[in-house]
Amino acid sequence: MTRLLNPLGQLIGGPGHQPRVVVARGEDGAERWIDEVERGLACNCTCWECNSRLVARQGSVREWSFAHQADSDCAGGVETQAHRYAKAVINEAGGLYVASVRPDAWGALHPRFMQLAPVRTEERIAGFRADLVGSLKGHELIIEVKVTHGCPANKIRAYRDLNMSVLEIDLAPFRYATADDLREAVLKRATRYWLCLSGGRDVPRQPAPTKPGGIDQQRKLSGFARPKNISQREWAEMSTLEKVTAVDPDGRLTIKSRGYRS
């Protein structure tokens, strides 16, 4: 039986491990996912980071992934896998849902699907690598994809100095999700918030992320027991929303209350 890792290179349902390479560069420079190539060296793929040949491991015991042909310390671009996947999802859908920019609706999801011109990955902006760059209503929009670390403060400052709008999407709670759930997370279900806005518009000092549920739901959920995989110390330092996300990672308990799950 073939078992596939999810598009982030993780085991579906966990437990977590170092993400593996599941998307490589084909001969034509385009992305090739592990389940759409020939086995072994016949995959004709190379590594995004070091350009060396990769082999497609498609055995019946371990989950499928790409590996360097020779021993290598190269991580093979697993960090950018999430960006490539998010790009593919957004481009296929033609856009995504963004957070509201209205001060009185801060933290809420904008109710309308936003059509986006095709997004690109890994573009250099102000000395930083932007995860995704697209254009929304004629304005450049940067999308940062959070899997383990959020966008660092100096990167946000640089974007703000350039008067860019930057949306961050938090995929961390979906790390071990199936491809279908991840797709939905990228487009709508994962928490998203503005790190900065163009046109000199302020974002609150502590940007309130889009809430998966109402305030009452969150209070209720924040009283939930600490999951075993989170230490007491971590738990004590987590915000209510982080707790809600940890307890209810895919929003099954909270999303219904908002009624935006299609």
Query: What are the residues binding Zn ion (CB under 5 A)?
Result: 47, 49-50, 74, 76
Burial class (CB in 10 A: 0-12, 13-18, 19+), 169: buried
Pick 21 or 166: Cβ nearer Zn ion: 21
Euclidean distance between CA atoms 156 and 76, whole angstroms = 26
Pick 74 or 117: Cβ nearer Zn ion: 74
Pick 56 or 156: Cβ nearer Zn ion: 56
Asked whether 56 and 69 are in contact (CB, 8 A), the reply is: no
For the chain, the distance separating the N- and C-terminal CA atoms, rounded to the nearest angstrom, is 32
Q: How far is the CB of 20 from Zn ion (least distance, A)?
A: 13
Pick 33 or 66: Cβ nearer Zn ion: 66
Q: How far is the CB of 11 from Zn ion (least distance, A)?
A: 22
Q: Which of 114, 97, 56 is nearest to 185 (CA)?
A: 97
Q: How far is the CB of 97 from Zn ion (least distance, A)?
A: 34
Structure tokens at 104: 């009185």
Structure tokens at 47: 């590594």
215: Cβ–Cβ under 8 A, 6 or more apart, which residues?
none
Q: How far is the CB of 184 from Zn ion (least distance, A)?
A: 31
Pick 76 or 212: Cβ nearer Zn ion: 76
Q: How far is the CB of 82 from Zn ion (least distance, A)?
A: 17
